[in-house]
Amino acid sequence: MKASIHKLAAFLLAAGFVAGAAAQETTLRLVSAFTENGIYVQRLQPWINKVNAEGKGVLQINFIGGPKAIPPFEVGNAVKTGVVDMALNTGAFYTNVMPEADFLKLTQVPVAEQRKNGAFDAINKVWNEKANMQYLARMVENQPFHIYTTKKVDKADLAGLKIRITPVYRDFFQALNATVITTPPGEVYTALERGVVDGYGWPIGGIFDLNWQEKTKFRIDPGFYDAEVSLVMNLAAHRKLTQPQRDYLQKQLLALEAENSFWAKYTAEEMARQEKAGIQTIKFDAAATKAFIDKAYQIAWSSAEKQSPEIAARFKPLFAHK
Ligand code: 173
């Protein structure tokens, strides 16, 4: 009896092994929470092409599309539940899955360092447990957020202004006395055009992608935090990959992150382009500049600590400047 069970187990194992070997190639469905013509997808597309060209017989990525496929604030849930396998997304867009998603804007060390100092693993532990997600790779770095306005501001006070936000900016802008209105990026242009908002939060790069320069008069310097745009994956889909598939994906993810030096260059180009488009910069003196940045981080961390004390305490030393 015992022997025949062993035989049966051995047979099933072998059959499974054969079936696995026959199905070596897998195709992952990927959506983007950011628009298809924007800089993030522009940078992702060649990577997908390379993954597919080099991954024949192993792993393929099928790019489904951007916000027309799934609304930006729904993409997190789509990954969590496995409606899609993978997404290009930012934590601010899936605080409805877990509030901690937005903490990633607070990293002050490069992702290469995050992989060495334990931050990346600490993130994945939380992402696995709370969002059913694997945090795969951060493909945007060195993109601080700014306040862009249609009206002149002469100090770090947004009283009387209606500003378009996502969760990234909420606590900080409210502390600066703004009236805040949450919208996905796709609604910013119309909100500006109709005077529903007097400004918006966005990183230093990308405002031309949706023509916001047409409606933007001022940018407040300095920037604050660091825009986090990353690839995330449904956890079960990630665990289902064979070892060769996972290794191949990992190799390509590290290659993607290795391209992140692009962003510092892009910042310089975008700043010049904004100036050329007639966008004036509003600057504070050195003391006010420091106070502005300190306030941004202090408010965000204290809100993180209130929201999720244990996780904020784990992340903070790993995210902060040495
Ligand atoms: O402003 C936003 O929509 C936002 O939260 C964000 C986050 C990362 C990159 C770009 C924008």
Q: Does 227 sit in the ligand 1 pocket, CB within 6 Å?
A: yes
Residue written as token pair 């407040």: 220
Domains 19-141+227-264 and 145-226+271-319 alike in fold:
yes
Distance CA 68, CA 215 (A): 24
Average pLDDT over residues 76-93: 98
Distance CA 210, CA 11 (A): 58
Cα of 74 from ligand 1 centre, angstroms = 15
Tell me if 119 sits within 8 A of 107, measured CB to CB: yes
Give pLDDT tens digits for 131-177: 999 999 999 999 999 999 999 999 999 999 999 999 999 999 999 99
Cα of 214 from ligand 1 centre, angstroms = 19
Characterize 29-59 residue by residue with b for buried, 16 or more Cβ atoms within 10 angstroms of its Cβ, and e for exposed: bbbbbbbbebbbbebbeebbeebeeebeebb
Cα of 204 from ligand 1 centre, angstroms = 10
Pocket test for ligand 1, best of 145, 216, 225, 228 (most atoms within 8 A of CB): 145
3-state helix, strand, coil in the chain (%, to 5): 50, 20, 30
Cα of 227 from ligand 1 centre, angstroms = 6
Tell me if 320 sits within 8 A of 301, measured CB to CB: no
pTM, entire model: 0.93
Average pLDDT over residues 68-95: 98
In ligand 1, which atom is closest to the CA atom of 200?
1
In ligand 1, which atom is closest to the CA atom of 143?
9
Give pLDDT tens digits for 183-196: 999 999 999 999 99
The CATH code for residues 19-141+227-264 is 3.40.190.170
Domain ranges of the chain: 19-141+227-264, 145-226+271-319
Length of the chain counted residue by residue: 322
Characterize 203-220 residue by residue with b for buried, 16 or more Cβ atoms within 10 angstroms of its Cβ, and e for exposed: bbbbbbbbebbebbbbbb
CATH 3.40.190.170 for domain 145-226+271-319: yes
Give pLDDT tens digits for 236-295: 999 999 999 999 999 999 999 999 999 999 999 999 999 999 999 999 999 999 999 999
